C-alpha cells in the first residue's frame, strides 16, 4: 500500500535540542514534493504549535499550526471540555482554556499531569488530594527522560510517577505509547491507516503507539533507543534505519 502520510516524532527524530537531526529537513521537503503529508506528533506539551513551527522552519520545513499535534492538543481533543486542575506549563493551560475547559483547583473533573519545570510538593499534594476525592487522573505522556545533547533530563513520566504513587491511581495517558494521539493525527490526515508510517527514536513510546494504532513504524537511530535495545523490546518496529537516507529508500521501494 502506497504511503500518503508520515507521523514524525520531534525530539530525537527531527532535532536534538536546537540542532537538526542530519537530513530531516531535506527528507520532509522531498515528501511534500511527492505529495506525502507530514504531521509532527510530540509528547511534549509545553511548546505551542507556533513555536514548534518556527523551530522547524529553521530547517527549511514548511509548517502550519495544524501540522503539529502535541499532548496538550491530544488532551484537549480527547477529553470532554470540563473543569480541570493541571500540573504543567503555559501551553497546556492555554490549550485547555482555548478549547472550553475551566481551571478549578478545588473540585475538578480532571487532574491533568504533564511536564513542569516548576513542579513542587504543593502541586503534588494538590493533585493527589483531588484524585483521592474522585477527579479523573490524566497523563499527557510517560516519558521518563529527555535527551538533550549529551545529557539526560527528567521527563513528564517522573512527575506522573510521583502522582501515581501518591494517589495509588494509574492515569489515562493521551500521548505515546498509547494510541490516542496517533488516532487524532490519522483522523486529521484523512488517510487510511495502511497508508501511514510513524517514525520515532524511542522504543518505549513511538513504536508501541504506532503498533497500538495499527500503523507501520520506523525506529530511527538518532536519539534515545539503540539497535541493541530492540531485542529486549516487547514491540518491534517494522523497520530500523540509521538515518533519513535509509528511510527514504524504504519509502521509494513502497511507492
Per the residue annotation, which of 11, 67, 183, 206 is the catalytic one? 11
Does the annotation mark 11 as catalytic? yes
- Please answer whether residues 76 and 101 qualify as being in contact, where contact means their C-beta atoms are separated by less than 8 angstroms: yes
Helices (H), 58-179: 71-78, 90-98, 121-132, 156-167
C-alpha distances (whole Å) from 96 to each of 11, 41, 76, 120, 176 are 23, 18, 5, 22, 19
C-alpha closest to that of 177 among 122, 218, 140, 221:
140
| Cell 527531527 found at | 14
**Where are the strands (E) in the chain, listed by range?**
5-8, 15-16, 19-20, 37-42, 68-70, 83-87, 102-103, 110-113, 136-139, 145-148, 151-154, 172-173, 196-200, 216-220, 239-241
- Please answer whether residues 123 and 148 qualify as being in contact, where contact means their C-beta atoms are separated by less than 8 angstroms: no
β partners of residue 86: 112
Query: Is the N-terminal amide bond of 177 cis, ω within 30° of 0?
Result: yes
Sequence-distant (6+) residues with CB within 8 A of 242 are 220, 221
- Please answer whether residues 87 and 114 qualify as being in contact, where contact means their C-beta atoms are separated by less than 8 angstroms: yes
Per the residue annotation, which of 9, 67, 143, 201 is the catalytic one? 9
d(CA 157, CA 172) in angstroms, rounded, equals 13
> Residues with catalytic annotation?
9, 11
Amino acid at each position: 500500500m502506497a504511503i500518503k502520510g508520515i507521523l514524525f516524532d520531534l525530539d530525537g527524530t527531527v532535532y536534538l535540542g536546537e540542532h537538526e537531526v542530519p537530513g530531516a529537513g531535506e527528507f520532509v521537503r522531498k515528501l511534500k514534493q511527492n505529495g506525502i503529508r507530514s504531521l509532527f506528533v510530540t509528547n511534549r506539551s509545553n511548546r505551542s504549535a507556533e513555536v514548534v513551527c518556527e523551530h522547524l522552519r529553521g530547517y527549511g520545513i514548511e509548517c502550519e499550526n495544524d501540522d503539529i499535534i502535541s499532548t496538550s492538543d491530544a488532551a484537549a481533543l480527547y477529553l470532554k471540555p470540563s473543569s480541570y486542575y493541571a500540573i504543567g506549563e503555559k501551553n497546556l493551560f492555554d490549550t485547555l482554556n482555548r478549547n472550553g475547559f475551566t481551571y478549578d483547583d478545588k473540585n475538578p473533573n480532571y487532574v491533568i499531569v504533564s511536564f513542569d519545570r516548576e513542579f513542587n510538593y504543593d502541586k503534588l499534594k494538590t493533585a493527589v488530594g483531588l484524585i483521592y476525592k474522585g477527579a479523573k487522573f490524566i497523563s499527557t505522556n510517560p516519558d521518563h527522560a529527555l535527551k538533550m545533547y549529551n545529557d539526560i533530563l527528567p521527563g513528564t513520566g517522573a512527575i506522573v510517577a510521583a502522582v501515581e504513587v501518591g494517589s495509588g491511581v494509574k492515569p489515562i495517558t493521551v500521548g505515546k505509547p498509547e494510541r490516542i494521539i496517533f488516532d487524532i493525527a490519522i483522523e486529521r490526515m484523512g488517510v487510511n491507516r495502511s497508508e501511514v508510517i510513524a517514525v520515532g527514536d524511542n522504543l518505549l513510546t513511538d513504536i508501541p503507539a504506532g503498533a497500538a494504532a495499527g500503523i507501520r513504524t520506523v525506529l530511527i537511530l538518532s536519539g534515545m533507543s539503540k539497535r541493541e535495545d530492540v531485542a529486549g523490546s516487547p514491540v518491534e518496529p517494522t523497520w530500523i534505519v540509521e538515518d533519513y537516507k535509509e528511510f527514504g529508500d524504504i519509502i521509494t521501494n513502497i511507492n
